[in-house]
Amino acid sequence: MTNSTPQTMGQQFGRRSWAEPWKIKMVEPLSMTTRQQRVKALAEAGYNTFLLHSADVYIDLLTDSGTNAMSDRQWAGMMLGDEAYAGSRNYYHLEEAVQGYYGYRYLVPTHQGRGAEHLLSRAAIKPGQWVAGNMYFTTTRLHQELAGATFVDVIIDEAHDAANPHPFKGNMDLDKLEALVQRVGAAQVAYVSLAGTVNMAGGQPVSMANLKAVRQFCDRHGIKLYLDATRMSENALFIQEREEGYADRSIAEIVREFCGYTDGGWVSGKKDSLVNIGGWLAVNEWELFEELRNQVVIFEGLHTYGGMAGRDMEAMAIGIVESMQDDHVRSRVGQVRYLGELLTDWGVPIVQPIGGHAIFLDAKRFYPHLPQDAFPSQTLAAELYLDSGIRSMERGIVSAGRNAQTGDHYYPKLELTRLTIPRRVYTQAHMDVTAEAVKAVYDAREQARGLRMVYEPRYLRFFQAHFEPL
Ligand code: F0G
C-alpha cells in the first residue's frame, strides 16, 4: 500500500503503487526566494515561522489546517450558497452529513474548531473541575482552562517517547484515569476529552479497543466522553490497517462506530473535511444541546450558521463525504508516509510510527547539543526555512506554554518540528524536495546555536513570540 523509496524502487519487479484519486485542474504558482531574501524575511519575522509572509514561503508545511485544495464539486457547491440569515439550506445539508457520517444527533455550527471548544468548555465545565485528555491540543486545553478546569494528561507513556513504535500511541492509560477519579472524585471530572488522532503526539491514532475501555470506564463513573474528531478519518485508516477485525470495514463504517461510543464530538473542518474554514460541535444529549445553541448565538452566530457563510457550510457538507472515501484517506496518509520513509531511510530522527497528517522531526535527537531552553524545535524550523524556503512549525516547549499556577515553562518530553502536509495540494516531487532539504539541515546540525525568546504573548505564545539567535 505504501510507496517504495527511491532506494528500493526499480529493484522490485511488479511493484504496485498507490496514486492520488484525482487530477489537477487549476494550479497556483509558488514563490521562489534566494537565501539572502530568506535571511531578511526570517529576521523580520522574529525567527517565528508563524510570522512569515506566505509570499516568502516556497513549500508551506506550516499546517494542514484550512490549507486543503477543494474539489470541483466543492467549488460548485460554493455557488449554491444560500446566504439567508436563518435556516439556510446549506445548514441542513451539513446537518445531514454530520448525522450520517459521525452519527451525532444535534449539530451546532461554529466558525472553526476552537469556537466549538469554547462553547463545549463553557457549557460542560464548572470552575474547579478537571478534564482528562490524551496528551493535549493547544487551543483545546486553553479553552478548558479558561472555563476553570485543570487539565490532566492521561495518554499512555509510550506517546511521550518519539521512538517508541506502539501502533496506537494515542491511547488513554486507564490507570491514569482511575487515579484521577480516586484523587478528585468522579463528580469533579467534567468530561473525558479524547482526540483521534493525537496531533501533539505526532498524529498518532487511538484504537477501537482502547475507546471501548474508556467508554466502559466513563459509564462506570458516570462521566461524559467527548471526541475531538478533527482528524478522525485518518484515525480510522490506522484502525483499518492495524486493528484486528477492521481490515474489511470502510473508513466511513469505522468512523461511525468510533463516534458511536462517545457522547458528542467537535471538529475543526479545516482538516479532514477538506475546506478552508469551518467547524462544528454535535452532541446526543438534548439539555446540553440547548445550552450550546444558546451560547452559539452569543459567540459565533445564529445556530444555523455559527460564523460560516452558507457557501462554507455547503463546501464542508461535500467535503465530509469526500473525506470518508477510502481511496482519498489512503493517498492522503500514503503521501505523509512517503515523506517519512525517505527521512527514515536517510537516518533523520522522526517520530515513529509515522502519523496521519504530518512528519514530526525529533529536535531532541536532531540537536542533542541544544538544551530545551534554547528552543531546539523553533531553531530547526528556522534553519529549514533558511535552507530551502520550506515552512514548518514548532511543536515543543514554545507550544507547550507556561503553567498558569506557577508561571514556569511546561517542559514537554516531545520537542518536535512539524512538517504538516496539506490535503491534495503538493505532489510527490515536493515531498522529495522537502526530504532533501531536511537532510541538508541535518547534515549541518552541529552548527546550530539555538534561540532566545525576546517577546512572549500571554496566550498561545507560539503564534506570536519573537526570538533572536544565540
Ligand atoms: N483540535 C485539533 C486536534 C487541532 O489540530 C486543531 C487545530 C483544533 C482542534 C482547533 O481547530 O484551528 O479550527 O480552531 N489545529 C491546527 C494545527 C491549528 O495546525 O494543527 P481550529
**Is residue 101 over pLDDT 70?**
yes
Average pLDDT over residues 132-157: 96
* Amino acid at residue number 379: T
pLDDT tens figures, 448-458: 999 999 999 99
Q: Does the structural domain 6-60+326-469 have CATH classification 1.10.3720.10?
A: no
Q: Are 142 and 122 in contact (CB under 8 A)?
A: no
Residue 39 has pLDDT above 80, yes or no: yes
Q: Are strands 451-455 and 466-469 parallel, antiparallel or unpaired?
A: antiparallel
- Who contacts 373 (Cβ-Cβ below 8 Å, separation ≥6)? 397, 409
Q: What is the pTM of this model?
A: 0.94
Beta bridge partners of 245: none
Alpha-helical (H) ranges within 261-349 are 286-299, 310-323, 326-345
Quote the mean pLDDT of the chain. Answer: 96
For ligand 1, is residue 132 a contact (CB within 6 Å)? no
Mutate to test the pocket of ligand 1, among 118, 139, 204, 399 (most ligand atoms within 8 A of CB): 139
**How many angstroms separate the alpha carbon of residue 404 from the centre of ligand 1?**
21
The angle, 0 to 180 degrees and rounded to 10, between the axes of the packed helices 376-388 and 428-443 is: 120
**Mean pLDDT along residues 241-260:** 98
- Give the distance (Å) from ligand 1 centre to CA of residue 140: 8
Cα distance between residue 192 and residue 203, in whole Å: 19
Place of cell 450550546: 292
Task: Give me the helix-helix angle, 232-242 and 326-345, nearest 10°.
Answer: 80
User: pLDDT digit string (tens) for 317-355?
Assistant: 999 999 999 999 999 999 999 999 999 999 999 999 999
**What is 72-323's CATH number?**
3.40.640.10
Which residues carry out catalysis? 85, 137-138, 228, 271, 395, 462
- Our answer on whether the CB atom of 270 is closer than 6 Å to any ligand 1 atom is yes
**Comparison of pLDDT for 12 and 169, the residue scoring more:** 169
Three-state DSSP class for residue 227: strand
The confidence score (pLDDT) of residue 2 equals 47
User: Cα(209) to centroid of ligand 1, in Å?
Assistant: 25
Q: Whose CA is nearest to atom 19 of ligand 1?
A: 63
> Is residue 197 in contact with ligand 1, taking CB distance under 6 Å?
no
Q: What is the grid cell recorded at 25?
A: 485542474
Q: How far is the CA of 113 from the centre of ligand 1 (A)?
A: 6
- Residue 216's alpha-carbon distances to 59, 152, 184, 261, 262, in angstroms, are 45, 19, 19, 9, 11
Three cell numbers, residue 390: 520550506
Instruction: List the chain domain ranges.
Output: 6-60+326-469, 72-323
CA distance 278 to 136: 21
- Residue 356 near ligand 1, beta carbon < 6 Å: no
Mutate to test the pocket of ligand 1, among 137, 233, 273, 299 (most ligand atoms within 8 A of CB): 137
